[in-house]
Amino acid sequence: MEQQRSIQLMDTTLRDGEQTQGVSYFPQEKVSIGKALLQSLKVDRIEVASARVSDGEKAAVQQLTEWAKGAGYLEKIEILGFVDKNKSVDWIVESGAKVINLLTKGSLNHCTNQLGKTLEQHIEDIRQTISYAHSQGLSVNVYLEDWSNGYANSPDYVYQLVDALQNQGINHFMLPDTLGVMAPKEVHASLSDMIERFPGVKFNFHPHNDYGLATANAMAAAEAGVDSIHCTMNCLGERAGNASLAEVSVVLKDKLGFKLNIDETEIHNIAKLVESFSGKRLAANTPIVGADVFTQTAGIHADGDQKGDLYMTELSPERFGRERSYALGKMAGKASINKNLEAMEIELSPENQQKLLNKIVQLGDQKATITPADLPFIIADIMESNDFAHIELLNCSITSGLDLESSANIRLRIGDEVYKSSGHGNGGFDAFMKALEMPLRKAKLSMPELLDYEVRIPPGGKANALTECIIQWADDKKQFHTRGINSNQVFAGIQAVLRMLNVRLHQRQA
Binding mask 426-445 for Zn ion (x = CB under 5 A): --------------------
Strand order from edge to edge, sheet including 449-456: 449-456, 467-474, 479-486
| CB closer to Zn ion out of 146 and 303 | 146
In whole angstroms, how close is the CB of 176 to Zn ion at the nearest point?
A: 5
Check: CB of residue 340 under 8 Å from CB of residue 363: no
| CB closer to Zn ion out of 44 and 374 | 44
Q: Is 145 a catalytic residue?
A: yes
CB under 5 A: which stretch of 12-20, 195-203, 246-254, 277-285 binds Zn ion? 12-20
At position 57, the amino acid (one-letter code) is E
| CB closer to Zn ion out of 16 and 305 | 16
* Binding status of residue 57 toward Zn ion by CB under 5 A: no
| CB closer to Zn ion out of 237 and 333 | 237
Nearest CA to 102 among 76, 75, 132? 132
| CB closer to Zn ion out of 103 and 250 | 103
* Binding status of residue 16 toward Zn ion by CB under 5 A: yes
Going through 247-385 in order, the beta strands assigned E by DSSP cover 295-296, 325-326
Tell me the number of residues near Zn ion by CB under 5 A: 1
In whole angstroms, how close is the CB of 208 to Zn ion at the nearest point?
A: 6
Q: Is 441 a catalytic residue?
A: no
Per-residue burial over 444-480, b if 16 or more Cβ lie within 10 Å, else e, is ebebbeeeeeebebeeeeeeeeebbbbbbbeeeeebb
CB under 5 A: which stretch of 9-17, 135-143, 253-261, 288-296 binds Zn ion? 9-17
In whole angstroms, how close is the CB of 272 to Zn ion at the nearest point?
A: 24
Q: Which residue is nearest to Zn ion (CB)?
A: 16
In whole angstroms, how close is the CB of 37 to Zn ion at the nearest point?
A: 17
Q: Among 15, 45, 322, 504, which one carries the catalytic annotation?
A: 15
Check: CB of residue 431 under 8 Å from CB of residue 407: yes
In whole angstroms, how close is the CB of 207 to Zn ion at the nearest point?
A: 8
Q: Among 18, 78, 145, 238, which one carries the catalytic annotation?
A: 145
At position 491, the amino acid (one-letter code) is F
For 147, 413, 440, 441, the CA distances from 418, given in Å and listed in that order, are 72, 4, 11, 13
Is 487 strand, coil or helix?
Answer: coil
Name every residue whose Cβ is closer than 8 Å to that of residue 360 and which is 6 or more positions away in sequence: 328, 329, 332, 337, 370, 378
Catalytic residues: 15, 145
Binding site for Zn ion (CB under 5 A): 16
